[in-house]
Amino acid sequence: MLRNAPKFYEVAKRIIEITENCIIVAHNAQFDNRILKTEFKRLGFEYKRETLCTVELAKTLIPGLSSYSLGKLTKSLAIPVSSRHRAAGDAMATVKLFKLLLAKDVTKKIIKESIKLETKSQIEPRLSEIVEQLPSITGVYYIHKADGEIIYIGKSKNIKKRVNQHFTSTNIKSKKIQLQVATVTFEDTGSELIALLKESEEIKRNKPIFNRALKRSIFSHGLYCFTDTNGYINLKINQVNGKETPITTFSNFQSAKSFITRITDEQQLCQKLNGLYKTKRNCFNYTIKQCFGACIKKESPIDYNKRVTKIIDKHNFAKHSMVIVDHGRAIDERSAILIENGVYKGFGFYNLNYQINNIDVLQSIITVMEHNGDTQHIIQSYLRRNKKLKIVRL
């Protein structure tokens, strides 16, 4: 197999070029690095590069596995591998494994440490140069100081454009970021929903100095329900107070009012019962025959409540177990957001060759995330805006 392969000295220069100012990622990196250093030493050259080992990272981020060999890891994490035990196949498998580990590293330890190493050789990089190196993709971006500290986390459907806005804006926060930034890293999510969820989670975990304004909840109003003395289920909009659990939440009162107005018209509900038309008689919709008369007890509570309950069940996933399927980071990939019994568990990515209705495989690829009011609001808001999303019920 090696009879016609080039000798090491023939490719040595190219190896130096492609690894210049890079951190080498390898499965069992100590072995690969030792081989490279030995071969370069024979040529009288001291080869020195920083490395990251996906074996050690996997042991830290995915503890408790029986084996951390590349073959066993790719199988348990549903990572497709072609040409196993060949350089190209194993390298691509390691890339996919490393992407998964980066996603699971919610404290961003890998990125922080690598930035510390990379920025030693950098001298005040120009903002335009930083922007030029960024892609126009959907994902989360991290603005770092020279020591690797994350000072701002954001998400965008176009990372390059959004970071450029930070660097060209003249507001006080942007000017402070411009003075302190040394580099910007990013994570491709493919899905805007995952970008929103990651941004919320990682701001809470990393507490960047310029994200302080986002410490408050990202929603202010909620949709609530109660049954009146006549047996009809009423919907109402109130400020979120922490005492009652809302059916769904909204960023502000206007978006909440728009939602309840729309569902009232679509489902031919009563404006009076939903607090949209104050009257002691029938609502206006009954006059134009868009309400069946619950406001004057003409429609029975049983018939009326069926339509209201359908809306409540649709927008409140309190007891639902499901997977939201969204865009992936590549053409042959999809993302999966897992919800079990109304609790957001996390997200992951899978190849189209695999079926995600296998709960064991699904749980193995999921990056575990925290469920809270903000994540629930993000998911519910996204589902309201994107009605064509694929949802797999578990």
pTM: 0.67
User: Are residue 259 and residue 335 in the same domain, yes or no?
Assistant: no
Residue 55 lies in domain: 8-103
pLDDT at 120: 46
- Both 306 and 332 in one domain: the answer is no
Q: Contact 252/275 with Cβ under 8 angstroms?
A: no
Q: Which residue has the higher pLDDT, 121 or 331?
A: 331
Same domain, 326 and 235: no
Do 115 and 96 reside in the same domain of the chain?
A: no
For residue 46, being part of any structural domain is answered with yes
CB contact at 8 A, 312 and 259: no
- Neighbour tally for 185: CB within 10 Å: 19
Indicate whether 200 belongs to any domain. Answer: yes
Residue 209 and residue 170 share a domain: yes
Q: Where a domain ends, among 76, 103, 130?
A: 103
pLDDT for res 140: 96
Asked whether residue 308 is domain-assigned, the answer is: yes
Q: Is residue 208 predicted with pLDDT exceeding 50?
A: yes
Q: Residue 326 forms beta bridges with which residues? A: 335
pLDDT confidence tier of residue 107, bands split at 50, 70 and 90? confident
Q: Are residues 113 and 86 in the same domain?
A: no
For residues 294 and 331, membership in a common domain is answered with no
Give a yes or no: residue 3 inside a domain: no
Are residue 284 and residue 194 in the same domain, yes or no? no
Alpha helix stretches (DSSP H) within the chain: 8-19, 29-42, 54-61, 70-76, 87-104, 109-118, 127-132, 159-168, 172-180, 192-206, 253-266, 284-287, 301-315, 359-365, 373-385
β-pair type (322-327, 248-250): unpaired
Give the pLDDT of residue 217: 60
- Residue 245 pLDDT class (50, 70, 90 cuts): confident
Q: For residues 123 and 181, state if they share a domain.
A: yes
346 and 369 in a common domain? yes
Q: Is residue 34's pLDDT more than 70?
A: yes
* Residues 239, 202 within the same domain: no
Highest mean pLDDT among 81-85, 124-128, 354-358: 81-85
- Does a structural domain hold residue 1? no
User: Does residue 204 lie in a domain region?
Assistant: yes
Domain CATH number, residue 77: 3.30.420.10
Q: Model confidence over 138-194: pLDDT tens digits?
A: 999 999 999 999 999 999 999 999 999 898 888 888 889 999 999 999 999 999 999
Inside any domain, residue 184: yes
* Mean per-residue pLDDT, 328-356: 87
Tell me which of 175, 199, 214 is where a domain ends: 214
pLDDT surpasses 80 at 358: no
Look at 15 and 3; give whichever has higher pLDDT. 15
Give yes or no for residue 106 having a pLDDT over 50: yes
Number of structural domains (the chain) is 4
Same domain (yes/no): 14, 31: yes
Task: Report the CATH number at residue 164.
Answer: 3.40.1440.10
Q: What is the CA radius of gyration of the chain?
A: 27
Which among 246, 281, 315 is the end of a domain? 315
Percent of the chain at pLDDT exceeding 90? 47
Residue that is written with structure tokens 């009162």 in the block: 253
Which amino acid would we find at residue 393? Answer: R
Residue 246 lies in a domain: yes
Residue 51 CA to residue 30 CA, distance in Å, equals 8
Please check whether residue 237 is in contact with residue 257, taking contact to mean a CB–CB distance below 8 angstroms.
Answer: yes
